[in-house]
Amino acid sequence: SDSVTINVGFNGNFSDQPVTKVFKELEQKCIFVVPTSSYTVPWFPTKISDLDKIRSRCIMGGSETMQSDHPGFHDKDYRQRRDMIADIAKNFRVGDKIKKVQYTEQEKKTWRFIFEKLMQLYPSHPCFEYQLAFPLLVEHCGYRADNIPQLQDVSDLLFEKTGFTLQPVYGLLSNRDFFNALAFRVFCSTQYIRHHGAPDYTPEPDIVHELVGHAPLFTDPDFADFSQEIGLASLGASEEAIEKLARCYWYTVEFGLCRQRGALKAYGAGLLSSFGELQYCLSEKPEVKPFDPNVASKIPYPITNFQPLYFAADSFYKMKRTDETI
């Protein structure tokens, strides 16, 4: 229904006269007023410098956390390279300029392969908002087949357009930590690139996913505000609420579709950075349902294969407004 649940924390006892008075007043205006036992609010950042703590606790990152099925697990050179790039993020502190990565010829070759494949699909597959945003990054941030953009250049453009910034991270953050950073209009981005042996697949976020998939839409003021609202909702939230947010985020910002001028378009970063899944998601193969946050928040999602199910909003704008109800 349209009812809203509000949890109120306070120092005191239910038997105290002032507390009893407040409860009686609330009972006259609310459907239910239920006193509960004490609840410990999870730690959350209260100032932007707290993000240094968040970025230091990746659950995946660097060669030490690679699983045996990772495409680069048996490649010694790739593992060493990942650790070198991870050190940039580990040494970064809020307020620093992001150190540039001097990408190798092999890394540039992997970027070129993916970039050129995606460019063939961009005139037709992404949503209109993405198509408007992407040329800004080409013009100002060096998005080209022969160049891997630098995080600081992209961060500067995002800040100019919407006040969002990028901060380097050496691997995958927990959902809570990732969302908490969004509350400060900060998107945590990796700098390494996927293994050259599997350019069409990465088991964790890489710079292609971050800069090609996510970054362009952060130039859109409405999308930037929407992302921050998700972050604000995550501060001090319960584990159940974080899981609900994560599933809706997955089915929208990561793998969402929308209808524009009668056709399905992609706006999810996981789609816009994967030439294989970008084609697949708009084919007749997967199941596509109308987006409903109450449904999406209950459905687990696979992370190692193409999605068997996508949610399509009636429009990009309506997705943002609907998702705010979660």
pLDDT higher than threshold 50 for residue 1: no
Lowest mean pLDDT among 33-37, 42-46, 66-70, 138-142: 33-37
Between the CA of residue 92 and those of 87, 111, 116, 206, what are the distances in Å? Answer: 9, 24, 31, 18
- Centre a 10 Å sphere on the Cβ of residue 175 and count the other Cβ atoms it contains: 18
pLDDT higher than threshold 80 for residue 7: no
Q: Which has the higher per-residue pLDDT, 287 or 202?
A: 287
Instruction: Give pLDDT, residue 200.
Output: 87
For 276-325, write each residue's pLDDT tens digit. Answer: 999 999 999 999 999 999 999 999 988 878 999 999 998 776 666 655 55
How far is 77 from 21, CA to CA, in rounded Å?
68
The pLDDT of 155-170, averaged and rounded, is 98
Instruction: Give pLDDT, residue 4.
Output: 63
For 67-124, write each residue's pLDDT tens digit. Answer: 888 889 999 999 999 999 999 999 999 999 999 999 999 999 999 999 999 999 999 9
Instruction: Give pLDDT, residue 11.
Output: 73
How far is 296 from 252, CA to CA, in rounded Å?
9
List residues bridging with 147 in a β-sheet.
144
- Name the token pair of 218: 């952060």
Between the CA of residue 174 and those of 58, 178, 205, 232, 242, what are the distances in Å? Answer: 7, 6, 12, 16, 10
Instruction: Give pLDDT, residue 3.
Output: 57
Instruction: Give pLDDT, residue 97.
Output: 98
Catalytic residue numbers read 209, 214, 254, 273
Which among 30, 13, 33, 58 has a CA at the least distance from the CA of 178? 58
pLDDT higher than threshold 60 for residue 217: yes
Mean model confidence pLDDT for the chain = 91
pLDDT higher than threshold 80 for residue 263: yes
Between the CA of residue 22 and those of 19, 32, 34, 39, 296, what are the distances in Å? Answer: 5, 14, 13, 20, 37
Instruction: Give pLDDT, residue 318.
Output: 67
Global pTM value: 0.87
What is the separation of C-alpha 215 from the centre of its chain, rounded to a whole number of angstroms? 10
Instruction: Give pLDDT, residue 32.
Output: 72
Instruction: Give pLDDT, residue 29.
Output: 81
